[in-house]
Amino acid sequence: MIYFIKRHISTRRWFVMYIIIDHFIDYLKFQKNFSDRTVEAYQKDLFDGLDFFSSALALPVEQIQPSALDSKLMRSYLAHLQQRKLSRATVARRLASWRSFFKFLYNDRLIKANPMVKMSNPKREKRLPKFLYQEEAKQLVEAPDATPLGCRDRALLEFLYATGIRVSELVSLDLHDLELSRGYVRVLGKGAKERMVPLHDRAVAALDYYLRHVRPGLVKQDCPAVFVNYKGTRLSDRGVRKIIDKYCHIAGLKNNISPHAIRHSFATHLLDNGADLRSVQELLGHVSLSTTQIYTHVTKQKLKRVYKMNHPRA
């Protein structure tokens, strides 16, 4: 593969960058096991950069050589992103995509130096995650009615709140991932990393009822998905979002509650009730403990609020 790319670079054939990016995308998919959504984000970030480089170098994209992308040009790209008034998170993500790409090129000896070695990401805003209070979470999961689709939705909401899994992990679950007799579910997370997540009794009961009495009447033959839509096929990310929006409205909650906000609620409520940070990290499938630590800020906010409400001189 590398010989193939080098041959195109040495002969200065057109479409060199497209060829290399294609190989980089394959590397992310098949060696790093990144999800389709993550790979799409990398691809979008790289092509955004190529558009800028094309303008800065006064060259068509297909004629840009990797050696032309030096540290000066990358600093110009950073300034360009900041001038567009993009969020710090977006700027940091685009730089991270290019940093990974240059690391790929350098490791495979397609460039002699990594132009981003000395570049640092802009500091990201410290935003507290949106979450439901415990009573709100209870109202949400108890909002569905007793109709067949209502029972499916109750099982889905109980499952999301019981496990804190990502919506992409939820919709990719198959029947063989469930171990209801033991109260566990096998979750395939980011980077194809597998983890076992426990289920509490209410979630097991709601899921068991759905699987026994509702799913058989919905599912199409040969569909292994745990959660299916009214057509009998695998429920999509968008379908889950619609379900949550529906029951937020019924329960009288905020309309901007996302599936990820339920994940945030799961982590926040565990910490509020005494769970240790390391255990929450394992349950969420976070690689780094620092990713989980944002929830400690949420609990500190709660402590401050309780203090102000109850201290006689606050």
**Residue-wise pLDDT tens digits, 256-268:** 788 999 999 999 9
Residue at a domain's end among 89, 107, 125: 107
Q: Is the pLDDT of residue 105 over 80?
A: yes
Instruction: Look at residue 115 and tell me if it is in a domain.
Output: no
**Residue of 94, 152, 154, 263 marked catalytic:** 263
**Residue of 190, 202, 241, 302 marked catalytic:** 190
Nearest CA-CA partner of 52 in 76, 16, 19 = 76
Does the annotation count 190 as an active-site position?
yes
**Residue of 32, 130, 260, 302 marked catalytic:** 260
Range 281-287 average pLDDT: 87
Instruction: Look at residue 126 and tell me if it is in a domain.
Output: no
Q: Is the pLDDT of residue 224 over 90?
A: yes
Instruction: Look at residue 125 and tell me if it is in a domain.
Output: no
Q: Domain range spanning residue 210?
A: 134-310
Residue 277's H or E segment, with its range, is helix 277-284
| Residue 13 pLDDT | 44
In this structure, the answer to whether residues 92 and 160 fall within a common structural domain is: no
Structural domains of the chain, count: 2
Instruction: Look at residue 123 and tell me if it is in a domain.
Output: no
In this structure, the answer to whether residues 153 and 302 fall within a common structural domain is: yes
Q: Is the pLDDT of residue 4 over 50?
A: no
DSSP helix, strand, coil percent of the chain (3-state; round to 5): 60, 5, 30
pLDDT-derived band at 292 (thresholds 50, 70, 90) equals: confident
- According to DSSP, the residues that pair with 198 across neighbouring strands are 184
What average pLDDT does the chain have? Answer: 87
Q: Is the pLDDT of residue 12 over 50?
A: no
| Residue 195 pLDDT | 92
In this structure, the answer to whether residues 149 and 6 fall within a common structural domain is: no
From first CA to last CA, the distance across the chain in angstroms is 67
Task: State the DSSP code for 244.
Answer: H
Instruction: Look at residue 98 and tell me if it is in a domain.
Output: yes
Does the annotation count 195 as an active-site position?
no
In this structure, the answer to whether residues 159 and 199 fall within a common structural domain is: yes
In this structure, the answer to whether residues 89 and 148 fall within a common structural domain is: no
CATH number for the domain harbouring residue 11: 1.10.150.130
Q: Mean pLDDT lowest for which of 166-170, 214-218, 293-297?
A: 293-297
| Residue 62 pLDDT | 81
Q: CB under 8 Å to 291, separation ≥6 — which residues?
A: 281
Does the annotation count 260 as an active-site position?
yes
CATH number for the domain harbouring residue 185: 1.10.443.10
Range 2-24 average pLDDT: 60
In this structure, the answer to whether residues 230 and 82 fall within a common structural domain is: no
In this structure, the answer to whether residues 146 and 295 fall within a common structural domain is: yes
Cα 132 to Cα 145: distance, rounded to the nearest angstrom: 21
Q: Are 268 and 131 spatial neighbours (Cβ–Cβ below 8 Å)?
A: yes
In this structure, the answer to whether residues 103 and 166 fall within a common structural domain is: no
DSSP one-letter string for 150-211: HHHHHHHHHHHHHH---HHHHHT-BGGGEETTTTEEEEE-GGG-EEEEE--HHHHHHHHHII
Residue at a domain's end among 92, 107, 122: 107
Instruction: Say if pTM beats, i.e. exceeds, 0.75.
Output: no
Instruction: Look at residue 128 and tell me if it is in a domain.
Output: no
Instruction: Look at residue 129 and tell me if it is in a domain.
Output: no
Cα 284 to Cα 164: distance, rounded to the nearest angstrom: 6
Between 272 and 241, the more confident residue is 241
Share of the chain above pLDDT 90, in %: 58
- Tokens at residue 26, please? 């394959």
In this structure, the answer to whether residues 176 and 295 fall within a common structural domain is: yes
Instruction: Look at residue 8 and tell me if it is in a domain.
Output: yes
pLDDT-derived band at 314 (thresholds 50, 70, 90) equals: low
**Residue of 29, 286, 297, 302 marked catalytic:** 286
Range 270-282 average pLDDT: 88
**Residue of 166, 234, 264, 269 marked catalytic:** 166
Residue at a domain's end among 64, 91, 107: 107
| Residue 36 pLDDT | 83
Does the annotation count 263 as an active-site position?
yes
Q: Is the pLDDT of residue 5 over 50?
A: no
In this structure, the answer to whether residues 64 and 151 fall within a common structural domain is: no
In this structure, the answer to whether residues 233 and 278 fall within a common structural domain is: yes
In this structure, the answer to whether residues 84 and 141 fall within a common structural domain is: no
